[in-house]
Chains A and B, each alone.
Chain A
Amino acid sequence: MKTENQKAWFFVLPVLLLVAFNALIPMMTVVNYSVQETFGDNVFFWEGLGWFEQILRSDRFHAALGRQFLFTGMILIIEIPLGVIIALSMPRKGFWVPICLVTMALPMLIPWNVVGAMWNIFTLPDIGLLGYFMNHTLGIDYNMTQDPLAAWITIIVMDVWHWTSLVVLLSYAGLVSIPDAYYQAAKIDGASNWSVFRYIQLPKMKQVLTIAILLRFMDSFNIYTEPFVLTGGGPGNSTTLLSIDLVKIALGQFDLGPAAAMSLIYFAITLLVSWLFYTLMTQNDQK
């Protein structure tokens, strides 16, 4: 006879608590704020969807969202092909393999705010290695605290430096999993280098690349620390990405309602784009 009891629920409880405190409760707090107005002292007034409407209509939000998509688009366009090219040119056997891998992994091991601070000093026109070299040796006027274009180039180069390795390592893992027989068969079939890439290497890397693009999209779309430490969102608002703007509204102006609405919209966009991308990539497989 089978004894039935509800003891199993106790085993689920820790996870439930963890998820609740770690995701659900903070999230619901944000939802709570997003539909109310407060003047402090824990006094709240019902606001409905007003904040959402305000955010979605605000030029400031549109501008920050535009900058965010531009930033993410740029770094994806650079980092994905560059990562693949580096992975392709890395040795697959022998002495140099561990050296290449460790060198590649190094930038990723540096904390984000350290990366920002490093690049900040690196680009200072009077004492920074890069800044000094550009201004005094090459004679190019480069000052990212004054020139928006220079600031943009700098945050993109910084992100490429910091995160291309992730794409490299994932692509490399895809590449080394290809059995030798594929290359041998391609040789016998008279395939060109391009064909080998197009029909063997790229298809075998597709899954890891999907993950790489997804990770890079999510991380760069939510990026905060590095550009904040490097440029502080300036000059002016030129590098104020979504997260930087959000923090300004939430903590700078203490507009909790609009900030909460904005973060929910922000979250929804990230989720939507990731879901669309993933669905498209995996749907292709079934054809």
Chain B
Amino acid sequence: MAKITLSQLRHSYMPAPKGPEDYALKQIDLDWQDGGAYALLGPSGCGKSTLLNIISGLLVPSEGRILFDGRDVTDLPPDQRNIAQVFQFPVIYDTMTVRENLAFPLKNRGVAPAHIEARVAEIAEMLEVTEMLDQRAAGLSPDNKQKISMGRGLVRDDVNVVMFDEPLTVIDPHLKWKLRSKLKELHQRVNATMIYVTHDQTEALTFADQVVVMQLGEVVQIGTPVELFERPAHTFVGHFIGSPGMNVLPCEVRDGGAFFMGRNVPLEGSITQSGTRNEIGIRPEFVTLSESGIPGAVRKVADLGHNAVVEAVAADGTRISAVLHGGDLPAQGETVHMQFAPEQTRFYADGWLASEARGAA
């Protein structure tokens, strides 16, 4: 168990990177607290797997350092870092039984046979694979194979961090949910730091206490699932998290207020700075239809049963979605008026959050 510190980490796959665009990781400064459940969330190609491989030691970063409890491990190979990694495709040793698979990392480290047996039994019980222990691992289903590869990481009791690189990709949808809750449960039982890489927001938000959102090789926001949802630090986070994503409306700043199509939109607090690109951000969940407000023509209505998503287009072409609970749904083509809950209306300058939280001022 250890606290992991990433200090001024940069990585490029090119031998001589020139500009920032040559870097897969631009600059990462992060602390992973001991025993935390983290998710690394971002679209494909944002650098999250690179970051993971750097932590595990499969990649040596171009610049910067990695510290485990203050000890510099930047140049240590993976087997000396006491980390475990679960890959996208289950990695199992085909010719071994499940028992031998689970014992393999311990055997390689010269652990006493009695201890190996006890640990394997304990982990097998935790993963509910006890009855498969003497089966050949090659014949297992993908979800059980993935469990075994997780088990190989968890079996070592000195493990600093367990990393999951999109581990549910090949798992059947109905088993995904089961395995995800199993992971959560495992985290509570073994208390190891866990980092879960995914591009799926549901996976990230259900697993993690803290979610690290990445985009184009940079960390955009770190926060609890609620923080990410309620106050996205960047419009990208607003788009990426939530379904549908946050409404982002281009606006003008006049007299300290934000104006959309000439209409003043009340914000949660005062604007701290404005940029060349100013936007208003509002979650569809906090948009309501009323008699007055911003007019828009209804383009699409999707009734999802427990709620409905209405997408309207304002006169300037901006699309605004609203999530409605009950009530009469407007018809397609109808003109509606939308109201934003002021305490949930944020202001973004050049993509970054630039309105004061309510009560802060």
Interface residues of chain A, those whose CB is within 8 Å of chain B, are 179, 181-182, 184-185, 187-192, 195, 199-200, 203-204, 287
Among A179, A182, A184, A192: residue with most chain B CB under 10 A: A184
Contact A287 B79 (CB under 8 A): no
The minimal Cβ–Cβ distance linking A264 to chain B, given in whole angstroms, is 39
Q: Which of B105-150 contact A (CB under 8 A)?
A: 105, 108-109, 136, 149
**Whole-angstrom CA separation of A182 from B104 in the bound complex:** 14
Residues 73-91 of chain B, each 1 if its beta carbon lies under 8 Å from chain A, else 0: 0000111000111011101
Known interface pairs A184-B58, A189-B79, A287-B136; A195-B108 also in contact (CB < 8 Å)? yes
List of B residues within 8 angstroms of A187 by Cβ: 58, 77-79
Q: Is B186 an interface residue (CB 8 A)?
A: no
Determine, out of B39-47, B92-100, B235-243, B275-283, the stretch whose residues face the partner at the interface: B92-100
Contact A189 B136 (CB under 8 A): no
Residue in contact with B108 in the complex, picked from A179, A192, A204, CB distance below 8 Å: A192
Q: Is B56 an interface residue (CB 8 A)?
A: yes
A-B contact pairs, 15 of them (CB 8 A): A181-B87, A184-B56, A184-B58, A184-B78, A185-B85, A185-B87, A185-B149, A187-B79, A188-B56, A188-B78, A188-B153, A190-B109, A191-B108, A200-B93, A204-B94
Among B84, B94, B96: residue with most chain A CB under 10 A: B94
Interface residues of chain B, those whose CB is within 8 Å of chain A, are 53, 56, 58, 77-79, 83-85, 87-89, 91, 93-96, 104-105, 108-109, 136, 149, 152-153
- Tell me what chain B mostly uses at the interface: helix, strand, loop, or mixed: mixed
Known interface pairs A189-B79, A199-B96, A203-B94; A184-B108 also in contact (CB < 8 Å)? no
Closest 4 CB pairs of A and B: A190-B108, A190-B79, A185-B91, A181-B87
Known interface pairs A184-B78, A188-B78; A199-B95 also in contact (CB < 8 Å)? yes
- Tell me what chain A mostly uses at the interface: helix, strand, loop, or mixed: helix
Among B93, B149, B152: residue with most chain A CB under 10 A: B93
The minimal Cβ–Cβ distance linking A200 to chain B, given in whole angstroms, is 7
**Whole-angstrom CA separation of A279 from B309 in the bound complex:** 61
Contact A181 B104 (CB under 8 A): no
Known: A184-B53, A195-B108. 7 other contacts (CB 8 A): A184-B87, A185-B85, A188-B78, A188-B83, A191-B104, A200-B93, A203-B95
List of A residues within 8 angstroms of B79 by Cβ: 187-190
The minimal Cβ–Cβ distance linking A125 to chain B, given in whole angstroms, is 50
List of A residues within 8 angstroms of B89 by Cβ: 179, 181
List of B residues within 8 angstroms of A188 by Cβ: 56, 78-79, 83-85, 105, 153
List of A residues within 8 angstroms of B104 by Cβ: 189, 191, 199
Contact B93 A181 (CB under 8 A): no
List of A residues within 8 angstroms of B83 by Cβ: 188
List of B residues within 8 angstroms of A199 by Cβ: 93, 95-96, 104
Contact B91 A181 (CB under 8 A): yes
**Chain A residue at minimum C-beta to C-beta distance from B149:** A185
**Chain B residue at minimum C-beta to C-beta distance from A284:** B95
The minimal Cβ–Cβ distance linking B93 to chain A, given in whole angstroms, is 5
**Chain B residue at minimum C-beta to C-beta distance from A182:** B91
List of B residues within 8 angstroms of A179 by Cβ: 89, 91
**Whole-angstrom CA separation of A189 from B96 in the bound complex:** 15
**Chain B residue at minimum C-beta to C-beta distance from A187:** B78
Among B89, B108, B109, B136: residue with most chain A CB under 10 A: B108
List of B residues within 8 angstroms of A182 by Cβ: 91
List of B residues within 8 angstroms of A184 by Cβ: 53, 56, 58, 78, 85, 87
Residue in contact with A189 in the complex, picked from B58, B88, B105, CB distance below 8 Å: B105
**Whole-angstrom CA separation of A179 from B78 in the bound complex:** 18
List of B residues within 8 angstroms of A189 by Cβ: 79, 104-105, 108, 152
**Chain B residue at minimum C-beta to C-beta distance from A287:** B136
List of A residues within 8 angstroms of B93 by Cβ: 199-200, 203
The minimal Cβ–Cβ distance linking A203 to chain B, given in whole angstroms, is 5
List of B residues within 8 angstroms of A287 by Cβ: 136
The minimal Cβ–Cβ distance linking A192 to chain B, given in whole angstroms, is 7
Residue in contact with B105 in the complex, picked from A181, A190, A200, CB distance below 8 Å: A190
Among A184, A188, A204: residue with most chain B CB under 10 A: A188
List of A residues within 8 angstroms of B149 by Cβ: 185
**Whole-angstrom CA separation of A91 from B97 in the bound complex:** 31
**Chain A residue at minimum C-beta to C-beta distance from B93:** A199
**Chain B residue at minimum C-beta to C-beta distance from A199:** B93
The minimal Cβ–Cβ distance linking B247 to chain A, given in whole angstroms, is 40
Contact A181 B108 (CB under 8 A): no
List of B residues within 8 angstroms of A190 by Cβ: 79, 105, 108-109
**Whole-angstrom CA separation of A261 from B190 in the bound complex:** 72
Residue in contact with B88 in the complex, picked from A181, A191, A204, CB distance below 8 Å: A181
The minimal Cβ–Cβ distance linking B161 to chain A, given in whole angstroms, is 11
List of A residues within 8 angstroms of B108 by Cβ: 189-192, 195
**Whole-angstrom CA separation of A187 from B149 in the bound complex:** 14
**Chain A residue at minimum C-beta to C-beta distance from B86:** A185
**Whole-angstrom CA separation of A144 from B88 in the bound complex:** 58
**Whole-angstrom CA separation of A187 from B83 in the bound complex:** 11
**Whole-angstrom CA separation of A182 from B136 in the bound complex:** 18
**Whole-angstrom CA separation of A195 from B100 in the bound complex:** 13
**Whole-angstrom CA separation of A179 from B152 in the bound complex:** 18
**Whole-angstrom CA separation of A203 from B78 in the bound complex:** 24
**Whole-angstrom CA separation of A190 from B56 in the bound complex:** 13
Among A181, A190, A287: residue with most chain B CB under 10 A: A190
